[in-house]
Amino acid sequence: MKKLISDKVINRLTLYHSILTDYIEKDIEYISSPQIAELLHIDNTQVRKDIALLNYKGKCKVGYKAVELKKFIEKTLKFKNVKTAYIVGAGNLGMALAKYDNFEAYGFNISALFDNSYLKIGTMINGKKVYDIDKLAEMAEKQNVKIVILTVPRQYAQEVTDFIVKAGIMYIWNFTPCVLNVPDKVQVWNENLIGNFLQFTVNHNINN
Amino acid sequence: MKKLISDKVINRLTLYHSILTDYIEKDIEYISSPQIAELLHIDNTQVRKDIALLNYKGKCKVGYKAVELKKFIEKTLKFKNVKTAYIVGAGNLGMALAKYDNFEAYGFNISALFDNSYLKIGTMINGKKVYDIDKLAEMAEKQNVKIVILTVPRQYAQEVTDFIVKAGIMYIWNFTPCVLNVPDKVQVWNENLIGNFLQFTVNHNINN
């Protein structure tokens, strides 16, 4: 698949977005590319190249208008296309993600959680209800939800995956440390936390 | 900084490692590169290229010996260099990471959590104690800990960062949705969950 925007650019754009949110909260009107570059310890040329991708022409002597640059990033990353998802697994990680208030700002709406524990079913987490996993197929069809964030324990990951794929889920954001076996039509995005951290430790030769 | 191994390769190697763990648990002795490729929906050439980086010559007609290939990945990704870290912020995300049992298999040892809430200080999470954040500097010095996993709420992220940097922390794995302002000597690894997900949604044009 040809990527519209490279992963690294998307990653940086969301970090710029976070910086802009911070500037706007502090009532700072303008931001320059060297200011962004310095905060992220990256090269200014890189920042300017990324911003050029946005087709934003508003640069002036004092820099970019924070509010406008933010809007251009949001347009490029399609924050207005609201994507609805379910969390499957209402443990600590599922709860943490349900409480991650920043998702909504990015057009990402978590509408419900699912679990099989009677201690959790019926409880509310950050305004979102935990439902019996057996209700998922019916609800996903009615609400046209195709995305699941998977946060179940490792040993149930494949079994639950088979179940949600049968229920019509097409996209799985996988937070379990397992490689899931899915049909070709289903897309899995492996969060792979340990892989992310090893990218850091291996290349910095951290050893303490 | 010149990277020893590219981020994408590290990411794939940890996924291969996860597949191998699964095979070994199921008592399957051999694995072939097409089997790995199929599970990850990637190209077999890619898998063979990655494995070639490991300097593992054990391939035979039926494939690689799972146990051996796993060891070579562990050597390349330096799992034996045990890295000790603190979690700062004992909320849901901090607790989820403290319970993420797979970290230890990857040479990553979380020895303690820190928080400022008296409801949390003194409690145990997965055998790890939650300490008063005020004790961090003293403990980090005594135990020579230089890595922190930051999971505090957004609004305290910078303040806590300033505090832990003063305490001698050199590496921050940042799970907050904030860009942290740190001195040059300190390295931040932004987990940037939303950026990871947008990499997925933007390029797959997900819109439900």
Q: Where in chain B is the domain with CATH 1.10.10.10?
A: 7-76
Q: Are A51 and A5 in contact (CB under 8 A)?
A: no
Q: Is the pLDDT of residue B2 over 80?
A: no
| Average of per-residue pLDDT across B65-81 | 91
Give pLDDT, residue A100: 82
Lowest-confidence segment of A150-159, B2-11, B161-170 by average pLDDT:
B2-11
| Average of per-residue pLDDT across A65-83 | 90
pLDDT in tens, A8-57: 899 899 999 999 999 999 999 999 999 999 999 999 999 999 999 998 87
Give pLDDT, residue B181: 94
Strand order in the sheet with B124-125: B124-125, B128-132, B108-115, B83-88, B147-150, B171-174, B187-190
**B146 vs B186: CA distance, rounded Å:** 10
| Average of per-residue pLDDT across B166-171 | 96
Tell me the residues of chain A between 12 and 31 that have a Cβ less than 8 Å away from chain B. 13-15, 18-19, 22
Give pLDDT, residue A3: 66
Asked if A197 reaches chain B (Cβ–Cβ under 8 Å), the answer is: yes
Give pLDDT, residue B185: 92
SS3 category, B1: coil
Note whether A189 contacts B203, CB cutoff 8 Å: no
Give pLDDT, residue A180: 95
CATH architecture classification, A7-76: Orthogonal Bundle (1.10)
pLDDT in tens, A106-153: 888 999 999 999 999 999 999 999 999 999 999 999 999 999 999 999
| Averaged pLDDT score across all residues of chain B | 90
pLDDT in tens, B6-65: 888 998 999 999 999 999 999 999 999 999 999 999 999 999 999 999 988 777 888 899
SS3 category, A164: helix
A109-113 own/partner pairs: CB under 8 Å, 24+ apart: A109/A82, A109/A83, A109/A84, A109/A85, A110/A84, A110/A85, A110/A86, A110/A149, A111/A84, A111/A85, A111/A86, A111/A143, A111/A145, A112/A86, A112/A87, A112/A139, A113/A86, A113/A87, A113/A88, A113/A89
- ipTM for the predicted complex: 0.83
Closest CA to B71 of B33, B20, B109: B20
Token output for A10: 């998307």
| Average of per-residue pLDDT across A150-179 | 94
Tell me the residues of chain A between 67 and 106 that have a Cβ less than 8 Å away from chain B. 77-78, 81, 83-84, 91-93, 95-97, 99-103, 106
Q: Where in chain A is the domain with CATH 3.40.50.720?
A: 83-194
Alpha helices in chain A (DSSP H): 7-25, 33-40, 44-52, 66-76, 92-99, 102-105, 136-143, 157-166, 193-204
Give pLDDT, residue B206: 67
Please, which residues have CB within 8 angstroms of residue B95's CB and are 6 or more apart in sequence? A92, A96, B113, B125
Token output for B159: 């303040």
Place A201 in a pLDDT band, splitting at 50, 70 and 90.
confident
Strands B187-190 and B171-174: parallel
Give percent of chain B with pLDDT exceeding 70.
Answer: 96
Place B124 in a pLDDT band, splitting at 50, 70 and 90.
very high
Token output for A114: 């699912």
Q: Which fold has domain B83-194?
A: Rossmann fold (3.40.50)
Lowest-confidence segment of B100-109, B130-139, B174-183 by average pLDDT:
B100-109
Q: Is the pLDDT of residue B207 over 80?
A: no
Give pLDDT, residue B133: 97
**A57 vs A49: CA distance, rounded Å:** 13
Give pLDDT, residue B3: 66
Q: Is the pLDDT of residue A1 over 70?
A: no
Q: Which H, E and C letters describe A50-81, residue by residue?
A: HHHCCCCCCCECCEEEHHHHHHHHHHHCCCCC
**pTM of the full predicted structure?**
0.85
Closest CA to A190 of B152, A181, A155, B106: A181
Question: Which residue, among A198, A203, A206, would best test binding to B if mutated, counting the most B CBs under 10 Å from its CB?
Answer: A198
Asked if B207 reaches chain A (Cβ–Cβ under 8 Å), the answer is: yes
Q: Is the pLDDT of residue A200 over 60?
A: yes
Q: Is the pLDDT of residue B91 over 90?
A: yes
Note whether B93 contacts A93, CB cutoff 8 Å: yes
Give pLDDT, residue A206: 67
Q: Are A34 and A44 in contact (CB under 8 A)?
A: yes
**B186 vs B165: CA distance, rounded Å:** 8
Tell me the residues of chain A between 114 and 153 that have a Cβ less than 8 Å away from chain B. 144-147
Lowest-confidence segment of A51-55, A88-92, A195-199, B187-191 by average pLDDT:
A195-199
Token output for B196: 């990871």
pLDDT in tens, B97-114: 998 877 887 888 999 999
CA angle, B122 as apex, B120 and B127 as ends, to 5°?
100
